[in-house]
Amino acid sequence: MGSKSRLGLAACTLVVVLAVAPLPPPATAATLSGAVEKIAVVPDSTVKKATISLEKAIALAKEKVPVPDALDTFKSEYYENNGKGKWVLRWSGKKPTEANMQVTVDSGSGEIDGVSFYRSSPPGAHFNGLPAYSRDQCLKLARDEAARMFPDRFPGTVLVERKDRDVIPLVRDRDYPVVYEFYFQKTQQGIPVSDQGINIGINAENGELMRCDSSWDSSIKLPSPEGRVSPDKARNIFLEKAGYQLTYYMVRGDDPDSPGELKLVYREKPPGRFVLNALTGEIMDSSVMFYDRDMGYGGGESVSLLKSDKSALTPAEKSAVEENQKFITPDKAQEIASGALEIPEGYTVSGRNLERSYNVPGGRYWSISYKDSEGKNYIRVSVDARSGELISFSLDEPWDATKEPQVKFSQEEAVKIAGDFIRKMQPARSGQSEFRQSEPDVGPWVKMGSIVPGSYSIQYARVVNGVVFPENGFRVRVNSTTGKVTYYEMTWWETKFPGVGSVIGEAAANERYLADHPLKLEYGVGHQRWGMEKEPVHYLVYRPGGSSGVMLDALTGEEIDYRGKPVSKKGSPSFSDISGHPAEADIMLLAGEGIISGEGGKFRPDEPVTGAEELAMLVKAFDRDRYYPLTTAEDGPWYKTIFERAAAMGILDSGFTVSPEGSVSRIQLSRLGVNAAGWGKLARVHGIFNLDTADSKAVPAELRGYAAAALGLGLINAEKGSFAPDRAVTRGEAATFLVKLLKQ
């Protein structure tokens, strides 16, 4: 099954983490003087200029692969490694559900190296029973799609049958459609090629192409099969030198602390695998790993191929082309990098990648990589693709795990070295920064009982309007033996900073925090970070209650999450207008779970509930998909997302809706609730229901199943023997209805 896109969350989380995260581990031996020195770089004859432009790459991709019109967002990256460049083109969209497509184009030949489609399932989608298409029918569809998408590749493939065939839950309802995956593996001279082929996923519910990806590298060199060991000889080698052996094996239960059943089984002899070099007849040891043996071909859902215009560039694509034309060239970026660092003799350029910066919104940079003649040591330099500024560099440092580092520079000296270096690199911005923190880097060598750092990680944070900005500034690593700077990174956003005149005071913020997170006296288990003590120690400490990483809104003092939204706290909210009301207990229960809310300290229990309010209650209560949190729509009214989710979940069935700002009738409430609980299909078979009320004829025949179900389950009570289908439902009644529904 498919995974869901979480890039937005990842990007937001990363910004926070970078402020406190340690620097990347020391990478090997190049030197960088305390000042920036310009020296020559050994030219790399293998680095070639891209002959295929971004615009041409887009045209080639769209000629080979139909790009759905719904994917209206476009982004691109350029990567170059050991002389081979490639464009990575990405299309994405959010309508009707989040989807994306990626195509990789060889910048030298224009060949399509990789294709990948993906579409997430609609949030709250519901399926049950046998799908409309069998696996064999889906296989035929998959062959047709593979031949259509890759006419030059598909004839040279073979179907790889999976032993773990797709399991279809026939009885249990499922949240995702059944998707059958088929892998057509590339062959050469009839021999399958690992990690090369075409993967197709067919939606068995409707027969649509849901996933399509292909990894196909025509430049890889495969050895000739001439002179290979025969199958019989390989079999004999396995029997004589490897094979299986009888062993005991314990089958563990659910409780990891309880012993399970002990069984006798046969298992492979150490090292637990058999890989024979077919050309030499030798068994390969475990120093060479074959990851594909432990990886499946499964995968998720993808986007259907819709009709699209292959020739014209979309607005998003044109924007990307125009943006790309403003970037400095990779040659210029390399020139800047080699003019700033001292590159040891023998190092050559191994890669030039145009990448996106997750530290700076909208940031793009060229990453230039150097390697030594043996390909063991690397130097990496990042240059801003727009301004040409040096963003970062990392020099590999040799480590000997058996030797204690010779510390010649103290942490205080390292901080001074880092400050001097930053002032030389960025004289203006260094004056807008202040020292934040420094930590010793211990490892891989650790001595019990003392800290012997191999280097120091130092952070300087940006200061704006007298306020520190930890996510902006500088990070530097200084070698404790040589005093050299071996890592440098600048993060600096060009943005507008709001004034600080309206913030609450520091004392008030602390009082607000402690009011919600009072200090608690407890024994805490302390682990020495550097392993100076063998066993953890219990300490008697005071610590604030609740989770760590709490943020408060500086204007209101309200606790907020990483998105800047108020943190929803479960508890007993106070409403001034529900005391003694028949629905008081139900309102408090739902409010405590964050399903309903009031305004201005009031719930207004006797006012009519609106369609948007009712749908919001049902969606929050029944939506099991935690990866799609409800958010306010950016391009419409607040309830737009609510209605879209309700439709996807089946709460709003085909042809049925409610007025978002108008009232909800009792028959509408019954229909919404029965649908939310998953009983709508049965309720729509209205002929099997008997609505025994005085006004049964006032309920349309096609809706009598909903009315009978609501009455029979006790969700709604009859009023003087009548159902009263058109009477508007109050907010208090809606709360009681939902609580009863949730208890079914």
Chain segment 141-157, per-residue pLDDT in tens: 999 989 887 888 899 89
What pLDDT does residue 717 have?
93
Highest mean pLDDT among 310-314, 357-361, 432-436: 432-436
pLDDT surpasses 90 at 604: yes
* More confident: 680 or 246: 680
Exposure of 143 in the CB half-sphere (CA atoms within 13 A): 11
What does pTM read for this prediction? 0.60
**Which ranges in 150-282 belong to alpha helices (H)?**
231-241
Provide the token pair at 201: 């996923």
- The helix/strand/coil state of 581 is coil
pLDDT surpasses 60 at 105: yes
**3-state SS track over 654-702:** CCCCCCCCCECEHHHHHHHHHHHCCCHHHHCCHHHCCCCCCCHHHCCHH
Give Cα 428 to chain centroid, integer Å: 37
For 737, list phi and psi in degrees, rounded to 5: -55, -45
Local confidence band at 313 (pLDDT 50, 70, 90 cut-offs): confident
What pLDDT does residue 629 have?
47
Mean pLDDT computed over 180-192: 87
What pLDDT does residue 306 have?
44
For 632, list phi and psi in degrees, rounded to 5: -70, 130
Provide the token pair at 139: 């296989």
- The helix/strand/coil state of 680 is helix
Element (H, E) at 676: helix 666-676
Provide the token pair at 212: 């399509």
Mean pLDDT computed over 614-635: 68
pLDDT surpasses 60 at 621: yes
pLDDT surpasses 60 at 654: yes
Q: Are 731 and 738 in contact (CB under 8 A)?
A: no
pLDDT surpasses 90 at 268: no
Query: Cα dist. 153→103, 158, 194, 299, 375 in Å?
Result: 16, 11, 15, 21, 33
List pLDDT tens digits, range 22-81. Answer: 444 444 333 343 333 333 333 444 444 558 999 999 999 888 777 878 888 999 999 988
Amino acid at 705: G
CA angle 53/58/60 to nearest 5° reads: 95
Local confidence band at 572 (pLDDT 50, 70, 90 cut-offs): low
Q: Are 629 and 642 in contact (CB under 8 A)?
A: no
Provide the token pair at 414: 């390292």
pLDDT surpasses 50 at 300: no
Provide the token pair at 698: 């006032």
Mean pLDDT computed over 538-542: 66
* More confident: 320 or 732: 732
Element (H, E) at 644: helix 640-649
Exposure of 490 in the CB half-sphere (CA atoms within 13 A): 24
Local confidence band at 448 (pLDDT 50, 70, 90 cut-offs): low
pLDDT surpasses 60 at 303: no
Q: What residues are paired with 464 via a beta bridge?
A: 467
Q: Are 27 and 396 in contact (CB under 8 A)?
A: yes
